[in-house]
Protein backbone atom coordinates (compact mmCIF):
# COMPACT_ATOMS: atom_id res chain seq x y z
CA UNK A 1 0.00 0.00 0.00
CA UNK A 2 1.59 3.33 -1.07
CA UNK A 3 2.25 5.95 1.55
CA UNK A 4 0.31 9.22 1.13
CA UNK A 5 2.11 12.54 1.43
CA UNK A 6 0.59 15.90 2.26
CA UNK A 7 0.68 17.76 -1.04
CA UNK A 8 -1.11 20.90 0.11
CA UNK A 9 2.01 23.12 0.10
CA UNK A 10 3.58 21.94 -3.14
CA UNK A 11 2.36 24.95 -5.17
CA UNK A 12 4.14 27.44 -2.90
CA UNK A 13 7.28 25.34 -2.44
CA UNK A 14 10.29 27.01 -4.09
CA UNK A 15 12.84 24.93 -6.03
CA UNK A 16 15.95 24.35 -3.93
CA UNK A 17 17.83 22.14 -6.42
CA UNK A 18 18.49 23.07 -10.04
CA UNK A 19 19.81 20.33 -12.32
CA UNK A 20 22.11 21.67 -15.02
CA UNK A 21 23.39 20.40 -18.35
CA UNK A 22 25.49 17.66 -16.72
CA UNK A 23 22.39 16.03 -15.23
CA UNK A 24 22.34 14.44 -11.78
CA UNK A 25 25.99 14.34 -10.77
CA UNK A 26 27.24 12.75 -7.53
CA UNK A 27 27.47 16.26 -6.06
CA UNK A 28 23.82 17.00 -6.90
CA UNK A 29 22.74 13.66 -5.43
CA UNK A 30 24.70 14.46 -2.25
CA UNK A 31 22.98 17.82 -1.96
CA UNK A 32 19.58 16.17 -2.40
CA UNK A 33 20.39 13.71 0.41
CA UNK A 34 21.54 16.56 2.66
CA UNK A 35 18.39 18.59 2.03
CA UNK A 36 16.13 15.58 2.62
CA UNK A 37 17.71 15.14 6.06
CA UNK A 38 16.61 18.67 6.98
CA UNK A 39 13.33 19.02 5.05
CA UNK A 40 10.33 16.77 4.52
CA UNK A 41 9.98 17.69 0.81
CA UNK A 42 12.14 19.43 -1.76
CA UNK A 43 11.42 20.71 -5.24
CA UNK A 44 13.86 20.02 -8.07
CA UNK A 45 13.85 21.86 -11.38
CA UNK A 46 15.71 21.00 -14.59
CA UNK A 47 17.11 23.55 -17.00
CA UNK A 48 15.73 23.39 -20.55
CA UNK A 49 18.90 21.87 -21.99
CA UNK A 50 19.44 19.40 -19.13
CA UNK A 51 18.74 15.68 -19.52
CA UNK A 52 15.74 14.87 -17.34
CA UNK A 53 15.76 11.54 -15.54
CA UNK A 54 13.56 11.48 -12.39
CA UNK A 55 14.64 7.93 -11.53
CA UNK A 56 18.30 9.03 -11.38
CA UNK A 57 17.31 11.56 -8.71
CA UNK A 58 15.57 9.01 -6.52
CA UNK A 59 18.26 6.31 -6.83
CA UNK A 60 20.57 6.55 -3.86
CA UNK A 61 19.10 9.70 -2.34
CA UNK A 62 16.66 8.13 0.09
CA UNK A 63 13.72 9.94 -1.42
CA UNK A 64 10.49 9.06 -3.17
CA UNK A 65 8.78 10.90 -6.04
CA UNK A 66 5.67 12.74 -4.88
CA UNK A 67 4.83 14.47 -8.16
CA UNK A 68 6.35 15.38 -11.50
CA UNK A 69 5.09 18.14 -13.73
CA UNK A 70 6.93 19.37 -16.79
CA UNK A 71 10.55 19.91 -15.85
CA UNK A 72 9.79 20.14 -12.12
CA UNK A 73 9.69 17.34 -9.58
CA UNK A 74 8.92 17.13 -5.87
CA UNK A 75 10.48 14.39 -3.76
CA UNK A 76 9.98 13.54 -0.10
CA UNK A 77 11.74 11.51 2.56
CA UNK A 78 10.95 7.82 2.50
CA UNK A 79 8.74 6.84 5.36
CA UNK A 80 9.58 3.71 7.30
pLDDT tens per residue across span 40-68: 999 999 999 888 888 878 887 888 999 99
Strands 15-19 and 41-46: parallel
Classify each residue of 30-48 as buried b or exposed e, where b means 16 or more C-beta atoms within 10 Å of its C-beta: eebeebbeeeebbbbebee
Taking the C-alpha atoms of residue 22 and residue 36, their distance in angstroms, rounded to an integer, is 22
Taking the C-alpha atoms of residue 57 and residue 55, their distance in angstroms, rounded to an integer, is 5
**How does pLDDT run across 26-36, given as a tens digit for each residue?**
999 999 999 99
Is residue 18's pLDDT more than 90? yes
Query: Please, what is the average pLDDT of the chain?
Result: 87
pLDDT of residue 3: 65
Taking the C-alpha atoms of residue 61 and residue 6, their distance in angstroms, rounded to an integer, is 20
pLDDT of residue 80: 65
CATH architecture of the domain with residue range 15-77? 2-Layer Sandwich (3.30)
Q: Where are the domains of the chain?
A: 15-77
Amino acid sequence: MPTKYDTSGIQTLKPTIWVGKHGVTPEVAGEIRAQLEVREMIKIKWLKNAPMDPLAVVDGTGGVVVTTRGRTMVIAKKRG
